[in-house]
Amino acid sequence: MTDDATSESPRSGRPRLHGELLQTSLLAFLKNWNAYGYELTQRLAEAGMPEFDSGTVYRTLRQLEKSGFVSSFWDTSESGPARRRYSLTGPGELWLNGWLATIENYQAVLQNAMKGFTPPTNKKTTENEGE
């Protein structure tokens, strides 16, 4: 897919979530149920993800479909226009499980690193206490 580094947004100065998080989140939602792109966009927002415009979500779903991780079909069962419904494929589930195992490993490494972390003290406050 893509490399898993994060980058910093020059405008906000905050780390920018990498596209692989969007891909993985979409696959995780589809593991539980088939969904329309609009539903997935809503679920992302409910999960606390940053706002992704629907175009980004649909482009990502198309990329996942080209990779064989997602399949889709036109659903004409409801009234109104036909809508594309997405579902997770076997290869998509395998990729998702591998990515989740990697994240669990990263989480363990970070937890171990944080065990010895002591937050810096406010030097000014410490100096004033001695007066």
- Provide the CATH topology of domain 17-116: Arc Repressor Mutant, subunit A (1.10.10)
The residue to which tokens 């591998």 are assigned: 98
Express each pLDDT in 81-116 by its tens digit. Answer: 899 999 999 999 999 999 999 989 989 998 888 887
Secondary element (H or E) of residue 112: helix 90-115
Under 8 Å between Cβ of 50 and 59: no
- Read off the pTM: 0.70
**pLDDT attached to residue 115:** 87
**Domain spans of the chain?**
17-116
**pLDDT attached to residue 70:** 98
- Alpha-carbon gap, residue 119 to 110, rounded angstroms: 15
Low-confidence ranges of the chain (pLDDT < 70): 1-19, 123-131
Under 8 Å between Cβ of 16 and 51: no
**pLDDT attached to residue 10:** 45
**pLDDT attached to residue 6:** 41
